[in-house]
Amino acid sequence: MATFSVNGEARQIDVRGDHPLLWVLRESLGLHGTKFGCGIGQCGACTVLVNGRPTRSCQLTVEAVEGAEIMTIEGLTADGLHPLQEAWIEEQVPQCGYCQSGQIMSATALILGGNVPSDSEIDAAMSGNICRCGAYSAIRRAIHRAAEIQAERTGTRSGPASEGGDR
């Protein structure tokens, strides 16, 4: 029996301890927003938050998350759109869309606590997530934009989000 919370709700799941969290979310809880891509932690499609940290759920056993707080794309906000989701729509990021739940969950860490990420921070945080449609430039723009939206919502002023950088 595994016990943890998902999107704020306490859950007890009757599976073996070595069962990957991804398939508990998808099959036991019917949360299909988290995707299966590679099964070896290489593509990031299965990214969820474990105690607030972006984590690959395909490689994570339920015993490793005993007592943890799990958040999936479905629980990102209690209502309305998260700043990242608003930015994703504004910048029209998704193409096929299959990787985008994982991309958004990975990006949450970048704007946590009002952080305004640089391009190199974005590279570091996002390079574990493959987008086969190649929407990388749109994802980058949307993360910068999400930081602005977050600042607008909290009434704080955000600095210039883009950096020149040597790309």
Interface ranges with another protein (CB under 8 A): 19-20, 23, 26-27, 30-40, 42-43, 45, 72-74, 81, 85, 88-89, 92-101, 104, 122-124, 126-140, 167
Closest by Cα among 71, 76, 165, 152 to 114: 152
Query: Smallest gap, in angstroms, from Cβ of residue 27 to another protein?
Result: 5
The SS3 of residue 109 is helix
37 or 54: CB nearest another protein:
37
62 or 116: CB nearest another protein:
62
Q: Which residues have C-beta within 8 Å of that of residue 103, sequence separation ≥ 6?
A: 44, 47, 93, 126, 129, 131, 139
32 or 153: CB nearest another protein:
32
64 or 133: CB nearest another protein:
133
Query: Smallest gap, in angstroms, from Cβ of residue 33 to another protein?
Result: 2
Q: Where are the beta strands (DSSP E) in the chain?
A: 2-6, 9-13, 47-50, 53-56, 69-71
Query: Smallest gap, in angstroms, from Cβ of residue 157 to another protein?
Result: 26
Contact 104, 126 (CB under 8 A): no
Query: Smallest gap, in angstroms, from Cβ of residue 51 to another protein?
Result: 20
65 or 73: CB nearest another protein:
73
Render the burial of 74-102: b for 16+ CB within 10 Å, e for the rest: bbbeeeeebbbbbbbeebebbeeebbbbb
Query: Smallest gap, in angstroms, from Cβ of residue 130 to another protein?
Result: 5
